[in-house]
Structure 1
């Protein structure tokens, strides 16, 4: 009986190993990794939905400058200590900016931060203020 049990166990083991080797159309099947997937830089920037620079203070900035400003907003929110400036420089037009995030705080189950973006141009400067909270996917979302 123990020999029969060993054969059955070996057969079950082989079947379960083979079951994991699925193919689709001659190509190996891919299995998505478990857990949340890391966000791409584009997805992170898109989650800010234009950020503060998407408003009035971004008027006149090139697309590249707006992207630099949004990346600075993300860096300030994500991992910059409270009150520390995150600077960005324009495309040689004399435009530049800086973002300053305040101390993080929690609202319910969301982590939030107030922050400001100041855009400097040859004509002067403008500042916008806002609040962003981390959504369930891990991105910062401007409120």
Structure 2
């Protein structure tokens, strides 16, 4: 839990140091990072728990940045959970859906493939906010500790 607090405080401090109101994209990065870290913290044990927290924070930050919109906390959490579930267990081309009131989305994982010694997957994360679609595409690779990390 301490690592989550450090991530949130650190990214919030960076935003505040800019001496201006944060943009929706910045809010998305911080919120996504915090939600992803919280979800990632639920997996693993010992040093694996720390790695899962960091990986979750990175994936959450990617989703928050790529979408660039301000989702409420529940929607961010559901989006990050769906993305982790799609990467870990999703069948290629089969959407993993989530819904939070007027915001809904789905993560569509691609097939698994190897790059050097890493298992990787491409994915598409589509989010509809008030009927308007937003799409983020990315690649994540499984790390030696079993967590997934966005690589682009």
Does the C-alpha gap of structure 1 residues 88 and 43 become closer, same or farther in structure 2, counting only changes over 3 Å? farther
- How far apart are 1:128 and its partner, in Å? 0.5
Larger radius of gyration: 1
Aligned to 1:122, which of 130, 136, 150? 130
Secondary structure, counterpart of 1:127 in structure 2: strand
Aligned to 2:69, which of 59, 65, 79? 59
> As a proportion of its length, which structure holds more helix?
2
Aligned to 1:101, which of 85, 89, 109? 109
Work out whether 1:78 is the aligned partner of 2:62: no
Instruction: Normalising by structure 1, report the TM-score.
Output: 0.65
- How far apart are 1:109 and its partner, in Å? 0.8
Aligned residues: 105
Instruction: Normalising by structure 2, report the TM-score.
Output: 0.62
User: How far apart, CA to CA, are the structure 1 residues paired with 2:95 and 2:53?
Assistant: 19
RMSD (CA atoms): 2.2
Work out whether 1:69 is the aligned partner of 2:79: yes
Q: Which runs of 4+ in 1 moved over 3 A?
A: 36-40, 42-46
- How far apart are 1:100 and its partner, in Å? 0.2
Q: Which runs of 5+ in 1 are unaligned?
A: 1-35
- How far apart are 1:51 and its partner, in Å? 5.2
Alignment of 1:16-95 (within 5 A): 37=45, 44=52, 46-48=54-56, 49=58, 50=60, 52-90=62-100, 92=101, 94-95=102-103
Q: Which runs of 5+ in 2 are unaligned?
A: 1-43
User: How far apart, CA to CA, are the structure 2 residues paired with 1:126 and 1:68?
Assistant: 16
